[in-house]
Amino acid sequence: MLAKPRLFISLAKCSPGSLRLSHNFSTAGSESMKRICIVGSGPAGFYFAQNIFKKLPNVAVDVYEKLPVPFGLVRYGVAPDHPEVKNVINTFEKVASNKNFRFVGNVTLGRDLTFADLKNAYDSVVLAYGCSHDKELGIPGERVPKVLSARRFVGWYNGLPEDRDLQVDLDCESVVILGQGNVAVDVARILLSPIDMLKGTDITEYSLEALAASRVKTVHLAGRRGPLQAAFTIKEFREMTKLPDVQTILDSSHFEGVEQLVPTLPRARKRLTELLLSTSKQKQSGYRSFKPTFLHKPVEILSSGTALESVRFELNSIDQEKGTVKGRGQFEKIDCGLVLRSIGYQGTCPDPDIPFDSTRGVVLKEDGICSTGWIHTGPTGVILSTMSDAYEQSNLLVEDLQKNNSPSRKHGFADIQSKLRSKGIVTVDFDGWRKIDSVEVERGATKGKPREKIVSIDKMLEIGGKT
In the bound state with ligand FAD, the residue whose beta carbon lies nearer, of 235 and 466, is 235
Residue 279 CB, nearest distance to ligand FAD (Å)?
A: 22
Residue 379 CB, nearest distance to ligand FAD (Å)?
A: 7
305 is in an annotated binding site: no
Instruction: Identify which of 310, 378, 382, 380 has the alpha carbon closest to the alpha carbon of residue 348.
Output: 378
In the bound state with ligand FAD, the residue whose beta carbon lies nearer, of 148 and 295, is 148
Residue 206 CB, nearest distance to ligand FAD (Å)?
A: 18
Q: Which helix (H) or strand (E) holds 413?
A: helix 413-422
Asked if residues 226 and 292 have their Cβ atoms less than 8 Å apart, the reply is no
Residue 33 CB, nearest distance to ligand FAD (Å)?
A: 23
| Interface residue list for ligand FAD (CB under 6 A) | 39-45, 64-67, 72-73, 77-78, 82, 85, 108-110, 128-130, 132, 154, 183, 186, 350, 373-374, 381-383, 386
Sign of CA dihedral 292, 296, 297, 298: negative
374 is in an annotated binding site: yes
In the bound state with ligand FAD, the residue whose beta carbon lies nearer, of 44 and 172, is 44
299 is in an annotated binding site: no
90 is in an annotated binding site: no
224 is in an annotated binding site: yes
In the bound state with ligand FAD, the residue whose beta carbon lies nearer, of 183 and 416, is 183
249 is in an annotated binding site: no
Residue 70 CB, nearest distance to ligand FAD (Å)?
A: 7
421 is in an annotated binding site: no
Strand partners, 186: none
In the bound state with ligand FAD, the residue whose beta carbon lies nearer, of 108 and 289, is 108
383 is in an annotated binding site: yes
3-state helix, strand and coil shares in percent for the chain, rounded to the nearest 5: 40, 20, 40
Return the CA Rg of the chain: 25
In the bound state with ligand FAD, the residue whose beta carbon lies nearer, of 226 and 350, is 350
65 is in an annotated binding site: yes
Backbone angles phi, psi at 246, to 5 degrees: -120, 125
Instruction: Identify which of 11, 16, 163, 192 has the alpha carbon closest to the alpha carbon of residue 76.
Output: 163
Instruction: Identify which of 155, 304, 313 has the alpha carbon closest to the alpha carbon of residue 222.
Output: 313
Greatest CA span in the chain, whole angstroms?
97
If one counts every other C-beta atom within 10 angstroms of the C-beta of residue 247, the result is 18
Cβ contacts of 258-262, under 8 Å, gap ≥ 24:
258/226, 258/227, 258/228, 258/320, 261/228, 261/320, 261/321
Residue type present at position 228: L
Nearest-angstrom CA–CA distance, 308 and 298? 15
In the bound state with ligand FAD, the residue whose beta carbon lies nearer, of 227 and 350, is 350
Residue 82 CB, nearest distance to ligand FAD (Å)?
A: 5
Residue 111 CB, nearest distance to ligand FAD (Å)?
A: 7
428: helix, coil or strand? strand
Residue 376 CB, nearest distance to ligand FAD (Å)?
A: 8
Residue 187 CB, nearest distance to ligand FAD (Å)?
A: 8
390 is in an annotated binding site: no
In the bound state with ligand FAD, the residue whose beta carbon lies nearer, of 156 and 313, is 156
In the bound state with ligand FAD, the residue whose beta carbon lies nearer, of 314 and 437, is 437
In the bound state with ligand FAD, the residue whose beta carbon lies nearer, of 186 and 440, is 186
Residue 297 CB, nearest distance to ligand FAD (Å)?
A: 23
DSSP state of 379: S
Nearest-angstrom CA–CA distance, 355 and 358? 9
Task: Please give the full DSSP string across 373-438, using - where no structure is assigned.
Answer: THHHH-S---HHHHHHHHHHHHHHHHHHHHH--SPP---THHHHHHHHHHTT--EE-HHHHHHHHH
Phi-psi region of 291 (alpha: psi -120 to 50; beta: other; left: phi over 0): beta
109 is in an annotated binding site: yes
181 is in an annotated binding site: yes
Backbone angles phi, psi at 315, to 5 degrees: -80, 135
3-state SS track over 146-177: CEEEHHHHHHHHHCCHHHCCCCCCCCCCEEEE
DSSP state of 136: -
Q: Which helix (H) or strand (E) holds 247?
A: strand 246-248
Return binding residues for NADP(+).
Answer: 180-183, 224-225, 236, 381
Return binding residues for FAD.
Answer: 44, 65, 73, 109, 374, 381-383
Return binding residues.
Answer: 44, 65, 73, 109, 180-183, 224-225, 236, 374, 381-383
